Amino acid sequence: MADLTVTEATDGLGLPLAMGDCILSAQAPGTAWLIAPYPGRRAACSAALAPLGLSFPAPGQGLAGQGLAAGGRRIVWAGRDQAFLFGAAPPEGLAEHAALTDQSDGWAGLRLQGPDAEAVLARLVPLDLRIGAFPEDHVARSLLGHMPLLIQRTGPETFALMTYRSMAGSAVQEIGHALKAVAARRRLG
Amino acid sequence: MRLTCPCCGPRDRREFTYYGHETFLHRPAPDAGGQAWDDYLHNRDNPAGPTRDLWYHDPCGTWLVVARDTVTHAVEGSEALA
């Protein structure tokens, strides 16, 4: 049997990239299962997710697992009647209530951290990402330039970004340009 | 221009795709006759003033009807279709 080598979507893209006071680094999503509840089954999905300490998230919501949270298990809203389950396999019984697809290798994950992270993303993402409008753990599906984006604020100055794997190179390049421009403006004072 | 997605809230126009006038919601009966089907498929007004049209919010996948005014550019509101 062939011995395949796993390569992350962001390998060879020159990460981490530190510029100004921000750092762009790779943050592989690990296992990512898309959960799409069948019509009217959201509550049943929440019940099936309960053993993981999770429930089906409301729009814009990202939930970290309670109690069993070790291992970075979390569920993140990802569109209308869609959510991503990260860091865990779908619990038994969930498949009766939702369509499940393993999309682990379809996405590239990035992490942008620093005091200027909001200013950098303001150049690319058409959302109000200030902490008052987009507080910690909030999630949105939007755009990064012309690329589809799933974004979550994971800390006061930290964002998790996900885009399609095939677009990882463009995403890093675009964010790199924005980092450079914001850093240059800072230097001008 | 900003539109309100019933699922996600107010969003930039870049996140939406325009589909056309809400006529597409009013499909005639199969035996309605050639004129009704011609109007449904091809004939559209070009209103100066209030109009209702269909938009798709690409990031979340919601279809919506948006009521807006083509003269003042005011967006009156939006509702989800399904």
Alpha-carbon distance of A159 to A157, in angstroms, equals 7
Q: Give the pLDDT confidence of A95-139 residue by residue, as tens digits.
A: 999 999 999 989 999 999 999 999 999 999 999 999 999 998 899
> Per-residue confidence at A74, pLDDT binned at 50, 70, 90?
confident
* Residue A7 included in any domain: no
Asked if A84 and A78 count as a contact pair (C-beta separation under 8 A), the reply is yes
Nearest to A79 among B11, B12, B59 (CB): B59
Mean pLDDT of B5-21: 94
Domain harbouring A156, CATH code: 3.30.1360.120
pLDDT, residue A94, reads 95
Comparing A151 with A67, the larger pLDDT belongs to A151
Contact A141 B59 (CB under 8 A): yes
Residue A135 contacts B where some CB pair is shorter than 8 Å: no
Does A74 fall in a domain?
yes
CA distance A148 to A158: 19
Q: CATH no. for residue B46?
A: 3.30.2270.10
Q: Is the pLDDT of residue A69 over 70?
A: no
**Residue B17 in this model has a pLDDT that exceeds 60:** yes
CA distance A21 to chain B (A): 28
Structural domain boundaries enclosing A145: 17-29+106-188
Residues B29-78: pLDDT tens digits?
999 999 999 999 999 999 999 999 999 999 999 999 999 999 999 999 99
Query: Average pLDDT in the A25-34 region?
Result: 90
Residues A90 and A135 occupy one common structural domain: no
The residues near A133 (Cβ < 8 Å, ≥ 6 apart) are none
- End residue of a domain, out of A75, A102, A129: A102
Q: Is residue A178 part of a domain?
A: yes
Is it the case that residue A65 has pLDDT exceeding 70?
Answer: no
Domain count, chain B: 1
Let me know whether A137 and A117 are in one domain. Answer: yes
Do A45 and A71 lie in one domain? The reply is yes
Select from A42, A76, A142, A151 the residue whose CB has the most chain B CBs within 10 Å, as the one to mutate to test that interface: A142
The pLDDT value given to residue A71: 56
